[in-house]
Every structure is written in C-alpha cells, then in structure tokens.
Chain A
Amino acid sequence: MADNKNNPNQVSDTGHEWDGIKELNNPCPRWWLNSLWLSGLLVIVYFILYPSLPLVNESTKGLLGWTMIKEYKEDLAKVEAKRAPFEDKLAAMTAEEILADQEMLNYAIGSSKVLFGDNCAACHGTGGAPAEGAGYPNLSDDDWLFGGSVNDIMMSIAKGRAGMMPAHEKLLNTDEVDQLVKFVVDSSNGIQNEAGMALYTSKGCFACHGADAKGIKAMGSANLTDKIWRFSGDEDQIRHTILHGVNDASDPQTRVAVMPQWSEKLAIMLQVRADAIADDEDPNDIDWSDELEGDEGERLTETEIKKLAVYVHQFGGGQ
C-alpha cells in the first residue's frame, strides 16, 4: 500500500491507463479496513455465542444456549404473566359477574377472540354469523333454542348440543306435508292458519314445538313463529326438514346438526350444581369425588368456556 502520509500526493500506480486516465492504487481508509476486520471478528464471536454450524443431527449450540423457541416461550411467559391477574380474577368470577363488570368484560372479549376463532368460528363464523345456507346456528341474533342466558350458553358449550326431529316421510302424505309447510311459513309471517294449526296439533308436532309452536327450550326445538330459520325459510328446505328430520339416524337424508361436547367434566358439574340448587341444597356442599370419575374429557377448561360464553353472549346481546 502506498504510504501517502509520508509522501503526500504520492500513490502507487497500477500501471493501467486508458485515454490518459490513470488507475491509481489508493489504499482504503484505515478506519474502513478496521471496520471490515471487526465485522469479520463479529461473525466469529457470533458463531461461538449462537447456534451456527449445521452438523449431521443438530447444529452447534453456542455458548449462550439461545434458541428461537426458548425466546418465544420466554415472551409468551411474559404475556401470560401480564394476563395472570385477570385470568385469576376471571376464574373466581361467575359468567354473570363478568358481564356486569365492564373492565373484566372488555378483557374477556379481547382475550376470547382467538379462542373463538380456534374452536368455534369454523362453523359459527368469525362474528357468530355463519355463512348463509351453511346450516349452522347464528349466534349473533336473539333466537336461542337452548336458552340465551350466559349460563345456558355455558351449558351448551360444555355439554354440546344435538337437537332431534324425527323424519316424517313415512308418517305424512304429500298433501299433509304441503299443508304443514304452509302453516310454518304463515306462522313465521304472523298469519293465522286454522287448518294448518289443526293438522299441527293432530300430527303431534306440538309435543316438541309446543302448543303455541314457539318451541321448548329444554328440547332445543325451533320456534316456528319467529322470523329466524334454524336451517332455511325456503319452502323446499322446510319440506326437506319435515320429511327427513334432524339427526334422525334412521333416515340417510336427515339434517345433521351436532355441536360437539367441549367439557364433559364441566357439563356434569353444571348439571349437578343446577340439580342441587333446584333441590334447595347448597352447591358448596357437593362432594365432587362422588360425582366425578376423574377421567372426564376436557377439550376446553372451565375458564375458557366461561370466557367463550361471555363472548358469545355479547354477539347479539344475549338474553
């Protein structure tokens, strides 16, 4: 390298010359070269400290023992630590208490979005409204076949739901089916249909749908007098429901409408608690070792189901 400190303006010449322009061999600035060497050094330090060389089975570990998944887990732990006070508080609250507490409600809604997206949205849609004609219940309206209180919703999630309507293909003739279809459409539109009502009653539909055709919550039967259709308000679709029923194993064309069970354990606990209250007993006195085997399935925890119930409840305002 030319030493142009001692010989100012004297630099070595590469000997190349084109059209009178000479190529000189000026050295790189010292600071620049030093930075280059330091960068190289940094690579070596990095190789020593971090996982770097891929070997046959796994890479070298590095002195720091850093891994991406470890960093992820640490960050996740931080998030969870931040959420912990809320989660603990939430676990101790009933769903109704959460609904009454604006701060906890906001937390429950915020933190349930992913939970709902992972477990529920595939059928019920992101905002509780399924795709049109998909045949899943809309959670954002005010029609709750199995009850719309937050506790009812919890029970529905825990236990799962499968409404049952027998197929009537072999029980009714075409004329009767047509008459019933007309009755159901009229009822939804608020039109009195005496003949249809008579047929509805004589064929025993009232046993499930109620004497006033408004459905029975305990059975989850549909309210035939409102504007909401569990499957479809289209006449052919109504006929299909009457002919083939819902969840009737004897009819291959039956409508399938099954909500899976998300916590067998919670379903039992909720039932036992409700029974105890109905019998005027203190639910705190229940001996759970008698009631639970200990091997009940739990796809979601009680707190998760509670959060989801609150989340679903606010879709359309609940009941």
Chain B
Amino acid sequence: MNEEANKITNVDDIYDEVSDWHVNTGGIKIVAKRLAGRFRRLKWFGMSIWLVFFLGPYLRWNGAQAILFDLPNRQFNFFHITVYPQDIWMLSLTLLFFAILLAAVTSIAGRVFCGYFCFQTVWTDIYTLIEAKLEGNTPQKATKFNNSPWSFDKLVRKVTKHSLWLAIALLTGVSFAAWFTDAFKLWYDYFTLQAPLPAWIVLGMFTAGTYGFAGFMREQVCFWLCPYARLQGVMYDQDTILPSYDAERGEPRGKLKKGQHQQSKGSCVDCNVCVAVCPTGIDIRKGQQEGCITCGICIDACDSIMDKTQQPRGLIRYASYKELHHNAKTVPLYKRPRVIIYSLILLTALSGVIYGFANLSPTEFKVVHDRQPVFVRLSDGSIQNKYTVKLLNKTKEVMTLRFSIEGLEGATLHGLNEMTVEPGKVIPVTALVRVPDEQLNKSLVPIIFKGKVLTNSNITVRYKSMFIGPK
C-alpha cells in the first residue's frame, strides 16, 4: 500500500446512484401497519388455501390415508389410485404445469403467488400478526416495547410470542411429515417418542425453518434467498399489470394543508402510509423493484387516504407499464404471444396428467432379452433364447397370470407358465423360448409375450420382444 492508502473517501461524491444502494439487509425490522381492505381480504383468502396443508393428511379413504406419499413402499396413494415410480412422468408433467402456471400468472398479473399464496408470505403474516398484537402494531410502539426495561409484562409477552411461534412451527413440521406417513399414527408416535429418526429430522428441520424464516428472516428471504424476485424481470412485460404508483397523477407529491385545495401539487399527499403498511418495507413510489411481492396492501392503504382527501381512488392500482406511460396500446390477453404459448404448454401438461391418471396400467410388464449369449443351439438343432420376465403388480389384489407367446411359428415357451404376484411386488422369472431351426428364416423375429390375468379377466398384459437366431 502506498502512503495514499486509507484515505477516507465519501462514496456519495463518486457515484450518483448511491442512494439506491441503501437496502435493508435485516438491520431495520419491518413492522407493517395493518389496515383492512380489498386486498387484505384477498390475502386472507389466499392464505386460507394453506388449511389444506394442515388438514389434508387427516382425510381417510377406505380405511387408509386418502393422500399419502408412501416413500418406503415407493408409491403415491391418491384416494383409490396408486401411483408407482414407473408413472413418474406424470409428476414431471405436474411440476411442469405448476412451473408454467407460475410464469403465466406472473406475466399476466405479477407475483400473485408471492403476494397471496407463498408460504413465506403467509407464515410471516401470521407471525407478525402475533407479534403486533403482543408488542405493538407500529414501528414506534415496537421499538418502545423492545427498548423498555425487562418487566414481568414484557417477559410474559415475549414468552407468549415465542411459544405461539414455536407451536405454529411444530404444527407445520408435523403437518408436513403427515403427508408421508399415517397422520394419526404419526401424532401417536411423536407423543410417545417412538417416531422414526427421519420423522424427527423432518420435524426439527421444519420447526427450525419456520421459526427462523417466518419469525426472524421474513422479507429478507424474499430479498436475498428466493430466486423468484430475481427472475420476475424476465416474466414481466409491458402488459403485465402490477400494483403501481401513478407518478403522472401523484407527482409532485406534497403534504396537504387543511382547507387548501390541490392545485400545483399531484395527488400524492406524501403520507407514507403505503410504506408503513408494506410487509417488505419498500416504497412502491420508486417503481417496480425486487422487494415488491405484489400483495396490493399499499393499494388498500392509498385508497383509504384518497377517500379521506376526497380524491378518486387508484393513485396506486393494478396497472400495466403501457397504461402508466401511454407509450403503446394495451394488447388484449388472447393476443399476447407469451400468454398463448404458456397456455398451450399448460394445456398439454394438464392433458398429459389427465391421460396418465385415466390410463394408469394395473401392471408394469417387461421382458428383457438375455444378451449373454443372445441365442443357443440345442442338441436337436433348435434355437433357444433366454428372457427375464418381470411383472409388477400395481393393483391391491394378488395377481395370478398365465403366460403364452405369439407371433413366431413353432416357438415353444419353457420355464414360464403361471406366476403369482403379491400387490406392489415385482417378480423376475426366467423364460426360455425354443424354435426349430428350420422354422427360423430371419435372424431377428418379433415375438409377443402375453400374460392373461386369471384373477381378473379384464387384464391381459403384452410385451413385444425379439427372438434372435443365427441366420
């Protein structure tokens, strides 16, 4: 380092945009004011969807859990349907559906998921509700409470808050685990301390995660952990409607003096209520930014102020870039290429899943031709091929099958006649096929293995394999 080192520089002198550098990295605790309104109601509605997460595992169907991700047995039970890993492609399509749904909704109406449905938003909202009730619902009250000396009242409030948080976190953990094992037995096992280790690990992780993320990290997760905030830019276009501040109408902002009429000033009275209610603590008037989860709470706040100041509502409203900037004509939904493409993908994925569920095979039947050796000449000159026949029974009943072969003249089946397979089990059996040499005039002949299920006359399994000979 030279002698000039450690000279103190004021960054503001070097860069103009320095004021935008100041982001809240957790140093400022956001205490959002709660106001009633349209979007607040919408948020409650979105949040209520999560009741399914808590209550779903207790649904019963035919004496078993209706929806169960049975990992140890590698099956997914959905009412009377059982899905095996072989049908995993349906999961891919389901995931594709939801991924594209996210993109489609985002391109139409912004981060709807973030604002109304995301677990981070929902759990944080509940946690902050509890906190606000106990410690004060404005930043001033909260700071005063936290800076006050320890008293019995403060202790009770703190203990109550953390107990409630932990209770919700625990319930979240149990509810998650309950989707993967019998819910009622799980509760019993947790209370009798007999739950298996993975159940404890899941409970521990979800409790710690919920408590930490919703209790302490809150909007910081949206800012710095979640990739969605960073991806939103590629999902939006100028037709996307977002909660936006109408700067044209609002500026120049300024305080409204009593009795004075708005003349030279814009509609914004600079009351900062939109900032005070924001759960992520941003200022919507700065425009679109990564911290905005598009929950619309600021719209409610601004509308209430507009009502009070006898101005028309909608200074902050769901509006597209084009609408605010009058730079182009708004394109209707059905003419927007990305909406059309997203819809097509959604439709394809959904049809695939519906097709998959409607055509779930009761079995998985495979015939694998042995490669070492590909064929063997027997003492009478005939050619023998060896196959491994595998049958997975996906039904809930024991299955007995009788096998036969088709498609190759003179071929006889040996070593495989009848097979009994328990539900959910797969049995490999060696099958030998013999063909007299003179009846084989090609080196590769298709051969069909057919298994007729004796226990259920509706099911016949078929598999096309190949018979390989020397010619």
Contact = CB atoms under 8 A, between A and B. Distances in A.
A-B complex is real: yes
B6 interface: yes
Contacts, number: 93
Nearest to A225: B379
B379 A228 contact: yes
Given A10-B11, A316-B432, A228 B6 contact: no
Interface string A7-26: 10111111100000010110
Interface string B368-403: 001111001111110010100000000000000000
B429 interface: yes
A10 B14 CA distance: 11
Q: Which 9 A-B pairs have the closest CB atoms?
A: A15-B4, A127-B372, A129-B373, A226-B379, A227-B381, A9-B11, A13-B9, A13-B7, A12-B6
A60 interface: no
B36 interface: no
30 contacts: A2-B8, A7-B8, A9-B10, A9-B18, A10-B8, A12-B9, A13-B5, A13-B8, A14-B5, A15-B3, A15-B7, A22-B14, A126-B372, A127-B371, A127-B372, A127-B373, A128-B373, A138-B376, A140-B373, A140-B384, A140-B386, A141-B377, A141-B378, A142-B384, A143-B379, A227-B378, A227-B379, A228-B378, A316-B378, A317-B384
B378 A142 contact: yes
B5 A12 contact: yes
A220 to B, nearest CB: 15
A316 B384 contact: yes
Contacts of A7: 8
B328 interface: no
A192 to B, nearest CB: 17
A9 B12 contact: yes
A52 interface: no
Given A10-B8, A141-B379, A315-B386, 14 more contacts: A9-B18, A11-B9, A11-B11, A12-B6, A15-B3, A15-B7, A25-B6, A141-B376, A141-B377, A142-B384, A227-B377, A227-B378, A314-B430, A316-B376
Given A12-B6, A22-B14, A317-B415, A142 B373 contact: no
Contacts of B432: 316-317
Contacts of B386: 127, 140, 315-316
Interface of B: 1-12, 14, 18, 370-373, 376-381, 384, 386, 414-415, 427-430, 432
Interface of A is mostly: loop
Interface in A124-168: 125-129, 138, 140-143
B156 to A, nearest CB: 33
Contacts of B427: 102, 106
A87 to B, nearest CB: 20
Contacts of B429: 102
Interface residues of A, number: 33
A129 B415 CA distance: 19
B428 A106 contact: yes
Given A10-B10, A25-B6, A102-B427, A317 B380 contact: no
Interface string A185-220: 000000000000000000000000000000000000
A241 interface: no
Nearest to B384: A316
A223 interface: yes
B372 A129 contact: yes
Contacts of A141: 376-379, 384
Nearest to A103: B427
A22 B381 CA distance: 89
A277 B415 CA distance: 30
Contacts of A223: 379
Nearest to A132: B373
A15 B10 contact: no
Nearest to A314: B430
A212 to B, nearest CB: 14
Contacts of A314: 430
Contacts of A129: 372-373, 376
A211 to B, nearest CB: 19
A14 B372 contact: no
Given A13-B5, A25-B6, A106-B428, A226 B380 contact: yes
